[in-house]
Structure 1
Amino acid sequence: MSKTIDRRGALKKVTLMMGGVAATPALLSVLQSCQQAREKLDWVPEFFDENQARLIMEISEHIIPKTDTPGAKEAGVHIFIDAFIKHCVPTKFQNIIPDGLVGLENKSQSQFQKGFLDISKEEQVSVLSDVAKADYSQAEDKANPTFFRSLKELTLMGYFNSQKGATEALALVQIPGDYEPCIPLEDGQKAWAL
């Protein structure tokens, strides 16, 4: 191998380096615009602040992710949870989820030195698993709701009562219709929405 560089090789290397230097600001602006797009909400929360609303969107999507059926985000579960807590939860229980979100953020910061929304999906699952384990270990007393259990129950309730959840994840028979008390299910068939 020769250690000398001919003029053509040197020009190629300089061009490649200059292209990388020139492309860096453009690449950074694209990445920042992706970050900013994720941070914008398409609705105005009634109860939560914007960061809490984003956290709830992300966590609910981990609970019911998009597969061949819509995920929790697409079904608008985060909007349901926000309205439900504002209008239906007694005042003494309204801080369970906001306080739990603070704990979740603290756990993410201590484990990964980043906020929950800034870590990878795998890291988010790790943080959520730890929070859920701790939550369910103290959830023996059903009279005292806990953060993750409450959020999971609200996610499931919101999803399966949404139009997308009831029509695309479950089989739905519109009412009024014929009453059939016993309908056999076949292997692989979806459960019926009520």
Structure 2
Amino acid sequence: MIDRRRALAGMAATFAVPLFAPIARAAGLAGKTTRPVISDGPPSVQVFTPAQHELMTALSERVMPTTDTPGAIAAGVPEYIEKLLADWAWPDERKPIIAGLDLLDAKSLEDNKVPGAKATPEQQDALLTAAMNGEIPNGASFFEKFRQLVLTGYFTSEIGMTQEREYLPVPGEYHGDYLYSNVNKVFSA
């Protein structure tokens, strides 16, 4: 099966915007900087407070919700985000994500009278939409970085590669007359 680093490098080509630096660094696309040795264990530093972690988890599920396939939480996206930010991001690169979560939480308290993690899914969608549309200071920048983290975490996970996409480790024979209407999922190999 394809490893996460190769999947990240492949996904980098699909983004139409500059890749968030920790993702590019983890994919080996950030130049000739020496990459640290990353363990499979927990993050090397604590990135989020418990409240920020709870909000990040809830918002990641809103970006990639559970439908007929598992969502971000089931795919381990929150753990991926925390590990990536702890072990691949410089402290200054974490700041936009942490500040964005704090701003969204404050906006939720102001608008909904509850912390962002306790807001309804519709209220969380409204928070993300406000950030995306720049209605929150630095919201558009936060949203783009956060969305990239969620999408790369999801589509490089086992769930993203095998359930959201159609995984064929060794594709079958070539059929030049295969009807596009028969294609249900994007293939990953």
- Please report the TM-score for the alignment, with normalisation by the length of structure 1: 0.65
For residue 98 of structure 1, report the CA deviation from its aligned partner.
0.5
* Structure 1 counterpart of 2:167: 172
For residue 138 of structure 1, report the CA deviation from its aligned partner.
6.7
* Structure 1 counterpart of 2:180: 186
Alignment RMSD (CA, Å)? 3.0
Asked if structure 1 preserves the Cα contact closer than 8 Å seen for 2:100 and 2:138, the reply is no
Asked if structure 2 preserves the Cα contact closer than 8 Å seen for 1:81 and 1:155, the reply is yes
Q: How does 1:18-167 map to 2 (within 5 A)?
A: 46-134=46-134, 146-167=141-162
Supply the distance in 1 between the matched residues of 2:57 and 2:179 (Cα, whole angstroms): 33
Supply the distance in 2 between the matched residues of 1:65 and 1:148 (Cα, whole angstroms): 16
- Larger proportion of helix: 1
The Cα offsets for residues 49-99 of structure 1, whole Å up to 9 and x where unpaired, read as: 222111111111001110111100100000000001111123321111111
Supply the distance in 1 between the matched residues of 2:125 and 2:137 (Cα, whole angstroms): 18
In structure 1, list runs of 5 or more residues that go unmatched: 1-43, 140-144
Task: Describe the shift of the 1:137–1:85 C-alpha distance in structure 2 as closer, same or farther (beyond 3 A).
Answer: same
Task: Describe the shift of the 1:105–1:183 C-alpha distance in structure 2 as closer, same or farther (beyond 3 A).
Answer: farther
Q: Based on CA coordinates, which of the two structures has the bigger radius of gyration?
A: 1
Asked if structure 2 preserves the Cα contact closer than 8 Å seen for 1:109 and 1:115, the reply is yes
Letter in 1 for 2:74: E
Tell me, what secondary structure is at the counterpart of 1:134?
coil
Letter in 2 for 1:49: T
The Cα offsets for residues 174-193 of structure 1, whole Å up to 9 and x where unpaired, read as: 26x6796x895632420112
Asked if structure 2 preserves the Cα contact closer than 8 Å seen for 1:135 and 1:146, the reply is no
Q: How many residues align?
A: 146
Task: Describe the shift of the 1:178–1:123 C-alpha distance in structure 2 as closer, same or farther (beyond 3 A).
Answer: closer
Task: Describe the shift of the 1:138–1:51 C-alpha distance in structure 2 as closer, same or farther (beyond 3 A).
Answer: closer
Supply the distance in 2 between the matched residues of 1:118 and 1:83 (Cα, whole angstroms): 24
